[in-house]
Structure 1
Amino acid sequence: MKVSLVKKLSLGFILAVLGSIILASAISNYTVGNKFKDYLVDEHKEKIDNAVKIIDDLYGGQKNFSQINNDEIQRYAELQELYIEIRDLNDNTIYTSGKSYLQHRGMMGNGNMIGPMAGMMRNYSGINMGEYTEENYPLNIDEKEEGKIIVGYFGTSYLSSASVTFISTLNHSFLISAIAALIFGVIISIIISRQISKPLAKITETANEMRKGNLNVKAVVNSSTKEIVELSDSMNYLVESLNSQEMLRKRLTSDMAHELRTPLTTLKTHIEAFADGIWEPNSERFEVFFEEIDRMTKMIDDLRDLSKLEQTSIGLNKSRIDISKELEKIIYTFKPLYSKENYELDTSITPNIVTMIDVDKFKQIITNLLSNSYKYLKPNGKVKVELKNENENVVIKVIDNGIGIPEKDIPYIFERFYRSDLSRNKKTGGSGIGLTITKALVEAHGGNIYLESKINQGTKFTIHFPLNN
């Protein structure tokens, strides 16, 4: 049986609160009970010690016991609810406070007035309320024992009315506090549970919409919980990513259809012309066939290369090289191509930068970038290549003043087969995976590649390689 998050969290909070209340009450009750019992015993002992001291002070130095005024002893006995008796060495009773009020207390202790409270106190402090006890103490006069003092009391003599009231109030306080804490815990648990479950329910609803194929939804949650906000942001990012991937997939299908349709249409047209006798086969027309077939072959090779990059990690054969000299060599091979179209290829290369790198992969990276810039230059175009050491990174920049890339296309320019509308109009446009491969090769070296571009102003590619990777 599945339980909703609200019920599960609420039940968990309530059990935690209830358990805490029971544990805290038990510990507090036990601790206070022991301490209070010790306090009562000490207080009782002090009462008896005071009674003995009063008697010692009254009888001290007196030869005739019958002439002593025992009113102070009587008042103390009644006030402290004690039975006091004084006997001489011959066991004759010299003084007694009388037991009438003690017998009355004993009846009350066994009756209906204090009986329930007495039971509660026995359970609470372990003191017997109804048992009568007598204790004997020596009567010393001038450091000589002249008799004995008998102090009697019921168990209730441990407890004054204030003590009983205190214990009763304390127990009621524990009970009221427990009920109040439980109610408060239930309210807080419900509030917190709803604060957590409500945004999660919204995120779940968004996920269900995504499962149905609706990629235009968005999880909008109002929560101060960091993890829930992060989950919502991740869900929205996932929706945007899937939406972008869906758009790229549709565009890829369209692009591939376009790229394959063009050479196939050309071949079909030429073959129909041959079949109808409109054209005579010659080397020039067969050369067109070859170019179109070669174009499709390159496209298939690009697909295969890209598949290898995506399926397995790129194997690098690194070696320690002077990247400055290597970059100059690559640029030198492009100089004639640029000069043929009256393009300018400038450099600003910091010499003697040495790092670990795969030379062949590095050549492929730079070749792809220079070829890309070459394709989209305008008349009298210019490309500048920079190399420098910056913050423990090898920084390479390829800057051109070509046709640029629309801002809406920049986030997708490294996606496979993605080509902006402007590049699609160029006859020299490639398959659209050259930059995808370039990015994969750069990242395989632990580096990053960045793109900046503006329409009719040009494009700048920036590569960061770790200096010692």
Structure 2
Amino acid sequence: MKMSLMKKLSIGFLLAVVGAILISVFISNYMVGKKFNNYLLDEQKDKVNKIVATAQDLYDDKTGFSNFNKDELLRYAVLEELYIQVKDINGNVVFDSGNSHLQHKNMMESMMGNMMKGGMSKYSHMNLGEYKEENYSLIKNKKNIGKIVVGYFGTSYLNQGAVTFKMTLNHSFILSGFIALIFGLGVSFILAKQLTKPLVRITKTANEMRKGNLAVRSQVKSETREIQELSASINYLAETLQNQEMLRKRMTSDMAHEIRTPLTTLKTHVEALLDGIWEPTEERFQVFYDEIERLINLVNKLQNLAKLEQADLKLNSTKFNLSEELKKTISNFEPLYLKNNYTIEAKIYKDIWVYMDRDKLKQIMHNLLSNSYKYLKSNGKVVVELKEEEGICIKVKDNGIGIPEKDLPYIFERFYRTDLSRTKNTGGSGIGLTITKSLVECHNGKISVESKEKEGSTFVVWFPKEIICEDK
């Protein structure tokens, strides 16, 4: 049977409080009771020692015990509920307190009976009938002058005040435990409610997301750090899923457009040929061929992207001079740039040797330089930088049209293009940067972009220092 979190927390807190109370009461009662009993026993011994000392003081060196004041010993016997008997050196009884100590037994029996009626069964084990007598030698001036017998029942040290104190102490423990239990129950309920209430609201938000409402957000505000972080994570997840849903819909639309455009061109040209509007010339067939090639290139890029995103992507890593390789790549692009009066410049550290996949590096640079070329303005310029910064850092800067700020988070997504017109003159299929990102990440690298609209863009590619070869 499943139980709510609030109920579990309440029961857990309550059990912890009850356990703590029981342990505290048991230990406290045991320790206090033990110490108090020891204190009473010490008091009993002091009484006996005082009686012995008094009997020794009453002895007279000349008359012995014949003329001593018996009232003082009798008073002790009555007040302390003890039996006292004094014998001289010859064994003759010179003092006997009588049955005054039995009054204590009767009183204690009555007291214990009342306590048992009141629920204090703890004292029922006391043996009130156990009577003890202890013999002590009387010595004065290092001379044995007789013997004293002190008799008492086993509970004689438990006078009415001591028993009342112990009863009050036990009642205090019980009352304190009950109050602590009520307090713990209240605190456990409050804490459980504070913890579960925001979790219930977060759960409702998650359920709304599951139903497809990705615009919902968690509005939970809590002083508990973990709950606040959970709420923020749910909101981040909702925002991410919402963005991914938008990208999915846009990707579907873009893919349909990319495929439909060449198919529409082919269809209209074929219809014109079938209707006799156009003659089947070499130029017409060249158009067919170009559109078919466009479709083939699109399919190949999609296939390459799928391969790059596979977990088992293999790298053909070799050692080579990265500085020289970048210079060659830049040289290959110079004619294309010069044709449109663009400038490409290199700022490359010399002799940086690396161990990585040369072909994939070429593809990365080809995609980045082609992308910069497509969006340059008149008198456009591209600068390629290479340097060591806790690894390998490659920057491709251009002064082109830039990227709108709203598009920056999605620039590496499939088919995402900032140019929604999708004309042939302003870019390709929107897969190039996605492929570039995959190629960089398969080397454990990172790629990022900084851009301002109408000012240009800077693509930054970083590779870890593990790929650097110290020996040239």
Do they superpose with TM above 0.5?
A: yes
Deviations 1:256-300 (A, max 9, x none): 111111101110111011101111111111111111000110110
Q: Please give the alpha-carbon distance, in whole angstroms, between the structure 2 residues aligned to 1:284 and 1:121.
A: 115
C-alpha displacement at 1:63, in angstroms? 3.5
Does the 8 Å contact 1:33/1:124 carry over to 2?
A: no
Distance 2:25 2:123 in 1: 13
Q: Name the counterpart of 1:436.
A: 434
**Does the residue aligned with 2:405 lie in a helix, a strand or coil?**
coil
Query: In the aligned structure 1, how far is the partner of 2:246 from the partner of 2:443?
Result: 30
Alignment partner, residue 200 of structure 1: 199
Q: Which residue of 1 aligns with 2:377?
A: 378
The answer (yes or no) to whether the contact 1:52–1:149 under 8 Å persists in 2 is yes
* Distance (Å, rounded) in 2 between the aligned partners of 1:460 and 1:423: 23
Instruction: Indicate if the aligned counterparts of 2:65 and 2:88 stay in contact, CA closer than 8 A.
Output: no
1:223 corresponds in structure 2 to 222
Q: Is contact 2:112-2:124 (8 Å) kept? A: no
Provide the rounded CA distance (Å) in 2 between the counterparts of 1:408 and 1:222.
29
Tell me: CA distance 1:110–1:159, structure 2 relative to 1, closer, same or farther (3 Å).
Answer: closer
The answer for the alignment partner of 1:181 in structure 2 is 180
- Any idea what SS the aligned residue of 1:65 has? coil
Question: Offset at 1:92?
Answer: 2.6
Distance in 1 separating the partners of 2:252 and 2:67: 127
Q: Look up the match of 1:466.
A: 464
Query: How far apart, in 2, do the equivalents of 1:71 and 1:170 lie?
Result: 37
Distance in structure 1 (CA, Å) of the matches to 2:244 and 2:307: 20
Q: Determine helix, strand or coil for the equivalent of 2:220.
A: coil
| Alpha-carbon shift at residue 50 of structure 1 (Å) | 1.7
Match of 2:330 in 1: 331
Q: Which amino acid aligns with 1:211?
A: R
CA shift digits 1:79-100 (9 cap, x unpaired): 3222211122444321123323
8 A Cα contact 2:52 2:148, kept in partner? yes
Report the alpha carbon displacement of residue 60 of structure 1 after superposing the two structures with TM.
5.9
Partners of 1:5 and 1:382 in 2: CA distance: 63
Deviates more, 1:48-57 or 1:36-45: 36-45
Q: Quick one: structure 1 residues 153 and 344, their matched pair in 2 at CA, closer, same or farther if it must change by over 3 Å?
A: same
Query: Could you tell me which residue of structure 2 aligns to residue 254 of structure 1?
Result: 253
Following the alignment from structure 2 to structure 1, what is the Cα–Cα distance between the partners of residues 424 and 8? 62
- Partner Cα separation in structure 2 for residue 125 and residue 80 of structure 1: 23
CA offsets, 1:385-432, max 9 Å, x none?
111112x22111101111111111110000111111367345242111
TM-score of the two chains, using structure 1 as the length reference:
0.94
Partner of 1:59: 59
Residues 323 and 189 of structure 1: is their aligned pair in 2 closer, same or farther, counting only changes over 3 Å?
Answer: same
| Cα shift readout 1:133-168 (whole Å, capped 9, x = no counterpart) | 222212234434332201122233212333223211
Whichever residue aligns with residue 19 of structure 1, its letter is G
Residues 121 and 127, structure 1, Cα contact 8 Å, conserved in 2: no
- The whole-number CA distance in structure 1 between the counterparts of 2:197 and 2:190 is 11
Matched AA of 2:395: K
Structure 2 CA distance for partners of 1:407 and 1:125, relative to 1, 3 Å: farther
2:466 match: secondary structure:
coil
Distance 1:368 1:250 in 2: 25
Deviation for aligned residue 1:127: 5.0
Runs of 4+ aligned structure 1 residues displaced above 4 Å come to 118-122, 124-127
> What is the 5 A alignment of 1:122-271?
123=122, 127-271=126-270
- Mind listing any 5+ residue stretches in structure 2 that lack a counterpart? 468-472
Q: Tell me the residue number matched to 1:78.
A: 78
Mean alpha-carbon deviation: is it higher for 355-364 or for 366-375?
Answer: 355-364
Structure 1 position 421 matched with structure 2 position 419: yes
**Counterpart amino acid of residue 55 in structure 1:** A
Distance 1:53 1:460 in 2: 106
Contact 1:314 1:441 in 2 (8 A): no
- In structure 2, the partner of 1:397 is 395
3-state SS of the aligned residue for 2:156?
helix
The CA distance in 2 between the partners of 1:246 and 1:446, in whole Å, is 28
Total equivalences in the alignment: 466
TM-score normalised per structure 2: 0.93
1:30 aligns with 2:30: yes
One-letter amino acid of the counterpart of residue 39, structure 2: Y
CA distance in 2, matches of 1:60, 1:288: 147
Query: Partners of 1:420 and 1:130 in 2: how far apart?
Result: 104
| Shift, 1:123, TM fit | 3.0
Deviation at 1:130, TM superposition (A): 4.4
Paired letter, 2:4:
S
Alpha-carbon RMSD: 2.1
User: What SS does structure 2 have at the residue aligned with 1:81?
Assistant: coil
Checking the alignment, whether the CA contact within 8 Å between 2:58 and 2:65 is kept in structure 1 is no
Asked if 1 retains the 8 angstrom alpha-carbon contact of 2:104 and 2:156, the reply is: no
Provide the identity percentage: 58
In structure 2, what is the equivalent of residue 449 of structure 1? 447
